[in-house]
């Protein structure tokens, strides 16, 4: 794999840390800024909203720029956003800085996916996407625990100072290593053409598939700590080491999903979604045994991220030509929309449904719905290809 891919991985690592590390610092933030824990939790929601809004906004605004310039510019926004977080004097300034930082998220991964696939041969495109997303998985394994420790030991602002340094490094390596010639946007396409691509039914179904798949992932993952402590019987101190097992699964599943997608994309999309549904279903029983629960958590991490590269590559293929960067960024927003809906669904199951123990099997049903939508997209594309050409047409 070209070294430029690992420059993209560095940027993905920084973004992953800043997105998730706040979860481990809610107590410190709430105490320092004199807000409730629930208000501090809204910093997570604010970031997710920034991702969804930033995806179309920044991708359209930078649509005619060279892709390398876009990636460097986005990492500058990311770095300045984290610097603003570190210096934020009050809660609302911190919230605004989080939203600003999130603006770079979807467009970086969206444009970065297009750049990554342009750096490698056709048969390795999905693996290239997986390499870039490895930064996100490593952020969960190493960056988030270290960032949480740093914030607890030296104050939450220290964590954002550290992420700012990561941003500076990412700007430098992307500027130095990503080639110029392979990162030029499609100059021949207009904004109208780009938006027309988003109106393709098959592409819309692809985006809906992504949303539904990650509704299932986050319906299960958001409440994994209370499941492990209240149902499986683990202590609170045991949750972090178990989440490291989950993180290890993320890395393995991410790389495996990319390799399988390179061999056969559509079967991999369906296979990973089915595996996700099966593992979540089995977790319904596994959470009643400590050993089985740990194994299931590792498998959950693997099958969850095994879906990422195939789904991203699938949407890119449906947007070949004009609008690829915009469609790719929208798919990143679709992942985050699934995160938000999944967390809400899990809360509904707890408060108004069968309860905490039912979350795994309820979450496992959603990827089946994603498979049905994906099947509809495949049938739609198949029908389009087999439409007969009228007699006399050239």
pLDDT at residue 32, as a whole number: 92
Asked whether residue 176 carries a pLDDT value surpassing 80, the answer given is yes
- Residue carrying the six token digits 């990561």: 166
What pTM was estimated for this model as a whole?
A: 0.79
CA distance 310 to 312: 6
Radius of gyration of the chain (CA): 21
**199 burial via Cβ count (<10 Å: 0-12, 13-18, 19+):** exposed
Confidence of residue 289 (pLDDT cuts 50, 70, 90): very high
More confident of the two residues 47 and 96? 96
| Same domain, residue pair 151 and 236 | no
- Cα distances (angstroms) measured from residue 219 to each of 9, 292, 347: 27, 20, 8
- How many residues appear in the chain? 394
Residue 30 located in a structural domain: yes
| Same domain, residue pair 19 and 152 | yes
How does the average pLDDT of the chain come out, rounded? 84
Residue 391 located in a structural domain: no
> Which of 157, 185, 213 is at the close of a domain?
185
Residue 216 located in a structural domain: yes
| Same domain, residue pair 297 and 377 | yes
| Same domain, residue pair 171 and 234 | no
Distance of CA 162 to the CA centre of its chain: 22
CA distance 160 to 330: 27
CB 342 within 8 A of CB 218: yes
Residue 393 located in a structural domain: no
Report, in this order, helix, strand and coil percent for the chain, each rounded to 5: 85, 0, 15
Alpha helix positions (H), 62-90:
67-87
| Same domain, residue pair 178 and 278 | no
> Which of 163, 185, 207 is at the close of a domain?
185
Asked whether residue 391 carries a pLDDT value surpassing 70, the answer given is no
Residue 2 Rama label (left phi>0; alpha psi -120 to 50; beta): beta
Asked whether residue 299 carries a pLDDT value surpassing 90, the answer given is yes
Query: 55-64, 310-319, 350-359, 371-380: lowest mean pLDDT where?
Result: 55-64
- Two structure tokens written together for 110: 């969206």
pLDDT at residue 293, as a whole number: 95
User: If DSSP codes are grouped into helix, strand and coil, which group holds residue 116?
Assistant: helix
| Same domain, residue pair 208 and 309 | yes
Which range marks the domain in which residue 249 is found?
186-385
| Same domain, residue pair 132 and 241 | no
Q: What is the mean pLDDT of residues 160-184?
A: 83
| Same domain, residue pair 197 and 318 | yes
- Cα distances (angstroms) measured from residue 387 to each of 200, 202, 204, 382, 383: 16, 15, 20, 9, 6
| Same domain, residue pair 210 and 359 | yes
Dihedral angle, C-alpha 192, 193, 194, 195, nearest 10 °: 50
Domain tally for the chain?
2
Q: What is the mean pLDDT of residues 246-274?
A: 90
CA distance 250 to 305: 5
Q: At 178, which CATH number?
A: 1.20.1250.20
Residue 392 located in a structural domain: no
Q: What is the mean pLDDT of residues 35-55?
A: 80
> Which of 140, 156, 185 is at the close of a domain?
185
| Same domain, residue pair 319 and 202 | yes
Helix axis angle, 91-118 to 125-138, nearest 10°: 150
Q: What is the mean pLDDT of residues 266-286?
A: 95
| Same domain, residue pair 177 and 191 | no
- Two structure tokens written together for 313: 């590559």
- Two structure tokens written together for 201: 């039914």
Helix axis angle, 91-118 to 37-61, nearest 10°: 40
Angle (nearest 5°) at CA 352 between 348 and 358: 70
- Residue carrying the six token digits 């890119």: 316
């Amino acid at each position: 794999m070209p070294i430029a891919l690992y420059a993209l991985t560095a940027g993905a690592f920084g973004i992953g840390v800043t997105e998730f590390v706040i979860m481990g610092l809610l107590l410190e933030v709430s105490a320092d800024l004199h807000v409730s824990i629930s208000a501090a939790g809204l910093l997570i929601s604010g970031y997710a909203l920034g991702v969804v809004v930033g995806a179309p906004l920044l991708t359209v605004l930078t649509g005619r720029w060279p892709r390398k310039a876009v990636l460097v510019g986005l990492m500058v926004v990311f770095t300045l956003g984290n610097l603003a977080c570190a210096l934020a004097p009050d809660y609302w300034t911190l919230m605004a800085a989080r939203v600003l930082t999130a603006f770079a998220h979807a467009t970086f991964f969206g444009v970065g996916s297009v750049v990554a696939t342009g750096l490698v041969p056709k048969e390795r495109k999905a693996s290239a996407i997986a390499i870039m997303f490895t930064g996100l998985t490593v952020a969960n394994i190493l960056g988030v625990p270290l960032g949480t420790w740093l914030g607890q030991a030296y104050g939450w602002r220290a964590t954002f100072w550290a992420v700012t340094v990561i941003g500076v490094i990412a700007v430098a390596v992307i500027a130095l290593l990503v080639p110029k010639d392979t990162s030029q946007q499609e100059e021949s396409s207009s904004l109208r053409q780009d938006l027309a691509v988003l109106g393709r039914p098959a592409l819309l179904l692809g985006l809906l598939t992504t949303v539904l798949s990650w509704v299932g992932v986050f319906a299960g993952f958001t409440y994994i700590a209370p499941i492990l402590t209240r149902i499986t019987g683990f202590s609170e101190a045991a949750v972090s080491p178990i989440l490291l097992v989950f993180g290890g699964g993320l890395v393995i599943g991410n790389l495996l999903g990319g390799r399988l997608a390179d061999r056969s994309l559509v079967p991999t999309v369906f296979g990973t979604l089915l595996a996700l549904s099966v593992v979540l279903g089995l977790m319904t029983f596994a959470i009643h045994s400590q050993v089985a629960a740990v194994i299931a958590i590792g498998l959950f991490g693997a099958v969850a991220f095994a879906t990422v590269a195939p789904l991203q590559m699938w949407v890119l293929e449906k947007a070949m030509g004009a609008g690829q960067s915009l469609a790719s960024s929208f798919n990143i927003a679709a992942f985050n929309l699934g995160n938000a809906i999944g967390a809400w669904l899990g809360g509904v199951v707890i408060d108004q449904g069968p309860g905490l123990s039912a979350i795994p099997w309820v979450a496992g049903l959603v990827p089946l719905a994603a498979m049905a939508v994906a099947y509809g997209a495949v049938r739609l594309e198949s029908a389009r290809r087999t439409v007969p050409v009228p007699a006399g047409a050239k």
